[in-house]
Amino acid sequence: MKRRTAIGVLGGVAGGPLLVPLDEVGRMLVWRERVLGSAGPPGTEGTGGGTGNGDGAISQAASLLTPERAQVMEALAEIIIPETDTPGASQAGVTEFVAALVDGWLDDDDRDRFLAGLDTVDPACRERFGSRFVECAPGEQAVFVRGLDQELTRLREDLAADESQHFFHDVKRFTLTAFFTSDVGLDALGYRTTFRTFEGCAPLTPREAGR
């Protein structure tokens, strides 16, 4: 089955105010709401996001981003965008956003590759550190993520390779997209909008002129 494909990452790394045209910000935020809104009970658009639990809430038990995968994703995202004097990935709702992408927006091949990659994290950490990723010390987590990033760098420098096929490439772009389209992410960036045209010296209406 062909699924709706998620769009790419918004923007880059914040070194100052994020300058984005107002209509571009609006499109990204509308798309984010569509993604999150699609994570509903079976029978609604974007099924697979959860099941009703009898009290009106949505259970995430049926999500393809299982609790174990969600824990890995959230911990990875927190290494990429940690909480400092500004909110981190968890406060931006990154994991919930990724769950919605997985359940209703990614092509099957992209989804399966991403999930298979997440499933390698805990076994690799157990072999290297003796614990699941979320149970590793912060320093161990940072070392592990640095290794994944180095793998991406090697793939990027290899003309015969495709870094986009590495699951950590998706982890990074999903994290950035979710963060930069969230309220806390945009606030942390201090973004301001630009306009496509400038209408200078526009004539005032009689009401505006105080007549």
Q: Greater confidence, 31 or 94?
A: 94
- pLDDT tops 90 at residue 65: yes
> What pLDDT shows up at residue 125?
97
Give me the mean pLDDT over the 166-179 stretch: 92
Q: Given pLDDT bands bounded at 50, 70 and 90, which one contains residue 137?
A: very high
Q: Given pLDDT bands bounded at 50, 70 and 90, which one contains residue 175?
A: very high
Q: What are phi and psi of 20, to 5 degrees?
A: -135, 135
- pLDDT tops 60 at residue 197: no
Give me the mean pLDDT over the 196-206 stretch: 57
Give me the mean pLDDT over the 161-185 stretch: 90
With a pLDDT cut of 70, the percent of the chain lying above it is 64
Give me the mean pLDDT over the 80-91 stretch: 90
Rounded to an integer, what distance in angstroms lies between the CA atom of residue 5 and that of residue 106? 5
Burial class (CB in 10 A: 0-12, 13-18, 19+), 93: buried
Q: Given pLDDT bands bounded at 50, 70 and 90, which one contains residue 30?
A: confident
Give me the mean pLDDT over the 132-158 stretch: 95
> What pLDDT shows up at residue 44?
37
Give me the mean pLDDT over the 148-169 stretch: 92
175 with 81: CB under 8 angstroms? yes
- pLDDT tops 60 at residue 104: yes
> What pLDDT shows up at residue 86?
84
Give me the mean pLDDT over the 77-97 stretch: 91
Burial class (CB in 10 A: 0-12, 13-18, 19+), 203: exposed
Go through 9-33 and write b for each residue having 16 or more CB atoms within 10 A of its CB, e for each that does not: bbbeeeeeebebeeeebeebeebbe
Strand-pairing partners, residue 58, are 52
Token pair recorded at residue 110: 């992209």
Q: Given pLDDT bands bounded at 50, 70 and 90, which one contains residue 174?
A: very high
In this prediction the pTM is 0.69
Residue type, 89: A
